[in-house]
Structure 1
């Protein structure tokens, strides 16, 4: 092994970070090589295998994360914590005129020029002076500065030397409250722990994008008092296992927020011990396929917010899990984000009340379940319909996708949901009703609130399904005002015809042209379905909204829903569902399921 390099060492080549996974010879070449795993997995050429020989394993498991580089290739200089602090917040002029760590007056000799003209700096000197006072800094961002530890030149050092540096850090910047050490060359967690130990006021720490080696025994239970005041910890894209995340959080008895996104996690078996104060966990962009897979997080007694955006979740429980013994998953969780997942069944929403009895806020955007077409229209589900069906199926929701659910919204949604169930029930014999109701757990509850819906079942037909009569639709064509030249202007036109289901819309338009004596390109065909839909307020899905907290506490008052569609229409709460039959080769049997239909003819 090369004397200057070791396995797990963090290096930077021209700003690209990597971890040493192999040192030695490569068959078919001369000289020695470094096998590295790039943080940017698209930068490499292989996964550690070359010429059919496996030289090393990439922790990211990506096919192009690995490369071989020569040990003689120049590396970017690693910095200590204080060197990076000085580089970021103290200019060269300050260092020249003052002490090594700032606290000196700024020179105003330097000028900024744009297109040859001197730009007057108003207030910049004052800002730089404030930032240069390192002992007054409260928010420090040192991401991407090649920090390798607390000592110079990337050395780990002896305990006495490290203690002296901890004291120096504490004297230099004792008031830091928020610290970002993301995307650096940190290899040992002990360096992070020592930096935090030197900052008694630290409350938030981000070490995203670092690649720590195997946690040493001394970095475990013996350091529980290292981070006593830390409340927020971000470990995104560190490729740490869940067990390692748990080991680190045990050093943070005051922790309330934990982020471990983009770590290839697929199952959380271990519970976060000693982290009873954690109320928010962010596990976005991992590999979870069910809600029960994050059981180690859900078992926290005070967990209120769980962010699972951009996973592969499509069910609540894993296959084989017993509902009675597994649910509820959490009695404290109130806020759940499962947007950008693989949820494709409404049964997922039906089960949320049972999985989380106190759920009040949900994000569900960009899931396949909303791509299901509207059965009545054959078109993609609208935003309003998706909103109503989601609200109706999850009875405890107060906020959906950052929108407050008013009392009026909920009444409209639940009545619409009941009408959808009633339509399905009307299509099956009464003895099969229980099978349909079983798929709608809230049906009985909603019937108690609004009364059972009127179900009009079709009488048993004596018509042979293979006969011509069974393949006909009785269609009533009418116009509200006369549109043909020979019609009586005082009476609306009305025609009844038996039309084969196999006729496409082009042929249907041809029939209308002959009946109403109009040109084919001048008419529109509107199918009046006879059904009524509540009108929901249009909502935009603001992906970057930060108003969720305000939305959850906003007023949810609303008017009482009208049960009569005709009365409701007057107040603008309901609208009759109409479908325009667009000219094309699609058969009318695709649009119209029954044996009768009413089509309104209008001029364009």
Structure 2
């Protein structure tokens, strides 16, 4: 194990399989010597919450009264390793040792082939100064010890991956970037940062265009915006972090923002971002309605991902129609579950060119807009009607419409195989339905997303896998009533 650092306060440690952060260094009344006060990651691992015999030595983030304890600074504490030590351990090989294990020949189709060049490849990969991508995830990195050495050996690094390490403070990240000034893409996800992020921290002139801080529940939106602002980031990802509340922030350079699988319900604080082109809200099930648009809101937004959200009203899509959005994802939302959802979206949004990952051809737009006009006869709340009637003509009479719709539908039996238990139901589906549009229907029936789909369109026992999400049912021969689709869990 590496020796204890001169200043262990705030450092992440592991000992005997347990992990935690050092919150106190010093004496404890009634005991000799110096002690470490540790708040454990497992909040029930300790004996107290930073207090002993009525005296509060340190304060913990956890509210569990058994989240902390005092330990001696012993040899079995793992303090992690420096960035340069981690780089050497991952990339530099012992050529004497590796040469003994390199194959002399390789089995080819026509016999043995002499192996040439393995040593050269291994040697080139061991040259740290040639690395442009440095992946050090999960290597217990705590920061930089020798700035000059680190800069000299890793001078060409452009992409730096530091997820799941021992970082706890902004100062440690700042030191890394000062040592590696050419880094343009940085991933510091799933470390041990805690709010407030910038207590007593100085600002430096650093530039990182792409920043990922996913799986960081100890940080607030303000903390992450502070990091992005200090790094002049143009792309930011802050997903899987339990985020529920956004506030306005000064992120004038930000062009891409991903907030996947949080608990966000209101995005109005983002509406003023002047350069935001891409917004990913996938998995925020609490997000149910896109806000009404006022002048200057989301002025550059071109790509919007609402997949797996709770959006359930077409009025949200009508609000989006006022924005320059070209790419939209609605899959696995209440809106995206109906057979007519693609027509409803394309009919409302004149400018989108890609929906749920599929480009909208001129032919499909014409077909979907005409279908949208047919659907409009069923009720109110259908914008763009006059525009589309001028383009395609008035929708046909109800009797003709019904016949047209029926000609597009087929009656399909959907079977769900769960072990030896089989359940089945019959549904009318559009022949043009894509397999990815069928998946949510089967998901509800199977109560699972872990299944494989097969189809049988003949009298024999021939089952064809539905293996392409972008193909339609008709592509797989589902043209007439009686086809059977089987979901195997």
SS of alignment partner, residue 301 of structure 2: coil
Cα 1:108–1:332 shift into 2, 3 Å: closer
User: Does the 8 A contact of 1:48 with 1:58 survive in 2?
Assistant: no
Distance 1:21 1:367 in 2: 44
1:428-460 deviations in Å (ceiling 9; x for gaps): xxxxxxxx2xx2223333233333435669xxx
The Cα shift of 1:179 comes to 0.7
* 2:212 is the alignment partner of 1:212: no
1:172-204 deviations in Å (ceiling 9; x for gaps): 211111111111111222222122122232211
- Higher relative contact order (Cα pairs below 8 Å, separated by 6+ residues): 1
Distance 2:225 2:311 in 1: 28
SS of alignment partner, residue 230 of structure 2: coil
User: Does the 8 A contact of 1:21 with 1:56 survive in 2?
Assistant: yes
* 2:238 is the alignment partner of 1:265: no
The Cα shift of 1:248 comes to 1.7
1:202-601 to 2 correspondences below 5 Å: 202-213=183-194, 214-216=196-198, 219-220=201-202, 222-223=203-204, 225=205, 227-228=206-207, 230-238=208-216, 239-253=218-232, 255-273=233-251, 275-276=252-253, 278-292=254-268, 295-296=269-270, 298-311=271-284, 312-317=286-291, 323=292, 326=294, 329-354=297-322, 357-371=323-337, 381-382=338-339, 385-424=340-379, 436=380, 439-453=381-395, 536=432, 538=434, 540=436
Report what 1:129 is aligned to. 123
Instruction: Let me know the Cα RMSD of the aligned residues.
Output: 4.2
SS of alignment partner, residue 377 of structure 2: helix
Which structure 2 residue ranges, 5 or more long, are not aligned? 29-34, 50-55, 104-112, 400-425, 440-473, 483-489
Which structure 1 residue ranges, 5 or more long, are not aligned? 26-31, 95-105, 114-118, 152-164, 318-322, 372-380, 425-435, 458-525, 544-571, 581-604
User: Does the 8 A contact of 1:37 with 1:66 survive in 2?
Assistant: no
SS of alignment partner, residue 233 of structure 1: strand
* 2:101 is the alignment partner of 1:111: yes
Report what 2:417 is aligned to. none
Cα 1:5–1:37 shift into 2, 3 Å: farther
Report what 2:413 is aligned to. none
Cα 1:199–1:456 shift into 2, 3 Å: closer
User: Does the 8 A contact of 2:197 with 2:219 survive in 1?
Assistant: no
User: Does the 8 A contact of 1:249 with 1:272 survive in 2?
Assistant: no
1:253-288 deviations in Å (ceiling 9; x for gaps): 3x3211111232223222234x42x22111112111
Distance 1:182 1:329 in 2: 34
Cα 1:35–1:173 shift into 2, 3 Å: closer
Distance 1:534 1:210 in 2: 48
Equivalences, count: 387
The Cα shift of 1:112 comes to 6.5
Larger Rg: 1
TM-score by length of 2: 0.67
Cα 1:45–1:391 shift into 2, 3 Å: farther
User: Does the 8 A contact of 1:423 with 1:455 survive in 2?
Assistant: no
SS of alignment partner, residue 219 of structure 1: coil
The Cα shift of 1:578 comes to 9.8
4+ runs deviating over 4 angstroms: 3-8, 13-17, 20-25, 32-35, 43-50, 54-59, 65-70, 106-109, 119-123, 454-457, 577-580
Distance 2:98 2:69 in 1: 45
Report what 2:144 is aligned to. 150
Report what 1:172 is aligned to. 153
TM-score by length of 1: 0.55
The Cα shift of 1:334 comes to 0.5
Report what 1:71 is aligned to. 71
SS of alignment partner, residue 272 of structure 1: coil
Distance 1:47 1:391 in 2: 57
Cα 1:16–1:242 shift into 2, 3 Å: same
Cα 1:16–1:442 shift into 2, 3 Å: farther
1:393-437 deviations in Å (ceiling 9; x for gaps): 22221101111111221121122122122133xxxxxxxxxxx2x
